Amino acid sequence: MSPLLLAVGLPLAFALFAFAIPSERARPWLIPVAALAQLPVLARLIGSGRHPTANGWLGIDPLGTLLLPYLAVFFLCCACYAPAYLRLRAERPNRLFCTMLLVCFAMMNLFGISQHVGLMWIAIEATTLSTGPLLYFNHNPRSIEATWKYLLIGSVGIALALLGSFFLGYSALHAGLESSLVLGDVIAHAADLSRPWLRAGLVLLLIGYGTKMGVAPMHTWKPDAYGEAPGLVGAILAGGVTSCAFVGVLRFYSIAVAADEGAFARELLLAFGLISMAVGGVFMVRQRDYKRMLAYSSVEHMGILLLGTSVGGAGLFGSLLHMLNNGFAKGVMFLSAANIHRHFGSRSIDHVHGALRALPASATLFLIGFFAVTGAPPFGPFLSEFTILRAAVGEARIGLAGAFLALLLLVFIGMGATVLAVVQGEPAPERAPACERFAKIAPIVALLALVLLLGIWVPERLQSALWSAARFVEGTR
């Protein structure tokens, strides 16, 4: 089997095995095993370069070369957390949970190697369908409400993306071209596309994939979904699925640049970016639910990704780096928040306080993760946000740079108040200090180490991949 097909087929094979295996105790261990087994496949795939199939629907572009290794490392860290978490939830059957988690991983990989607009749409929709059952894992009225909201809003958004894909295809037909919807073909003939249909398609595609990212004002599924989902699922959504959706936005942005519609696309990205940062910041102020706070933090960071892309050049480089930093930092926050939630049995700061005394390791990681995700040095998000800021100043966009800094300050203040309320104080007498298992702490430490590493040192090979992806998007190949 070719490395392209194996990158998707291997996780799907593990998903089938997870569904078939009868042992509730053994099944969760298939998740980290599948993640480890994916690493040599990925090394072979990336090392062998671009391998399109005969019809060109599958292949590795510079964005896929960046996305796939990130997904593999991020999923491995989250997968190592899964057995310890599911052992604590022994009252819940985990057959569907393990199966759908592996299916989601396979579909994210499929998205990374998709080179056809229609196949990209299928892959991103499959991530929605596979993560829906994961949101309902707790089986309570709030989780079913969050699941339906996630599925309905996500499906509406992705339906608009499908309509945008049709518009993109029709822009070629209207110009008398053959519409294959293979990304390479569309980019090659972008200058000849019908401009009105192309612009309409770009708007719909941005709204559709922006819904999957959780960009404001299409973010309304996020607070409920992230609030009710198990912390592991929240991490996969915030660090994995949203990153895939952002790569989708970049691929369509590259079409706009090739069609000389880059200025139009950048205006859209800037507007959605600023709105998302503002909405995320405002709703984090006086937020009493620390898991919903993480949802609004995700909304804010999706805005940062779009804002940096709109700046271009070094700003786009910063956005691509921030995609990695944000994913790893969100993993730290969601998994440590999951440990805190399991111990206190509540998401409200009215009932959760004194976490540093009750759960010293998890609460310390939660507090450090807060500084990381809000862009404090020496963590990775500081470097990527500073790169975007410097690019904006370098382009003489002082007003944009000032707004960026003001919104970052708002987020730091709003998020800090909630985080400090969780970790400080004395826990209730019935919440005695708990023994924290190594298996629930080690994956968080690994993610935090990655965030710290990317703030201190960005490997030369990673820098090269980031610049290659940025040049690919902006057409300076």
Given pLDDT bands bounded at 50, 70 and 90, which one contains residue 308? very high
With cut-offs at 50, 70 and 90, classify the pLDDT of residue 52.
Answer: very low
Tens digit of each residue's pLDDT (9 = 90 or more) over 408-423: 999 999 999 999 999 9
Q: Does residue 443 carry a pLDDT above 80? A: yes
Query: Is residue 443 within 8 Å of residue 78, measured between CB atoms?
Result: yes
pTM, 2 dp: 0.95
Where is average pLDDT lowest: 63-67, 179-183, 329-333? 179-183
CA–CA dist 139, 177 (Å, integer):
51
**pLDDT score of 422:** 93
Instruction: Return the H-helix or E-strand segment holding 350.
Output: none
C-alpha span between 143 and 332 (Å, rounded): 23
**Is pLDDT above 70 for 284?**
yes
Cα Rg, the chain, nearest whole Å: 21
Q: What percent of the chain has pLDDT over 70?
A: 95
pLDDT digits 0-9 by tens, 138-168: 888 888 999 999 999 998 999 999 999 999 9
pLDDT digits (tens, 9 = 90+) for 309-326: 999 999 999 999 999 999
Q: Quick: pLDDT tens for 28-40.
A: 999 999 999 999 8
User: Tokens representing 171?
Assistant: 């822009």
Please, is 140 exposed, middle or buried when counting C-beta atoms within 10 Å of its C-beta (0-12, 13-18, 19+)? exposed
What is the DSSP secondary structure assignment for residue 239, as one 8-state letter? I
Q: Where are the domains of the chain?
A: 267-458
Note the pLDDT of residue 1. 62
Euclidean distance between CA atoms 309 and 470, whole angstroms: 9
Q: Which helix (H) or strand (E) holds 230?
A: none
Among 422, 342, 317, CA closest to 84: 342
pLDDT classification of 430: cutoffs 50, 70, 90 = low
* Predicted local confidence at residue 434, as pLDDT: 65
What is the C-alpha separation between 375 and 387, in angstroms, rounded?
Answer: 12
Task: Please state, in angstroms and as integers, the Cα–Cα distance from residue 116 to each residue in 111, 130, 182, following that order.
Answer: 10, 21, 4
Averaged confidence pLDDT in the chain: 91
DSSP secondary structure, 404-456, as one string: HHHHHHHHHHHHHHHHHHHHSS---TTSPPPPPPHHHHHHHHHHHHHHHHHHH
Q: What is the pLDDT of residue 244?
A: 96
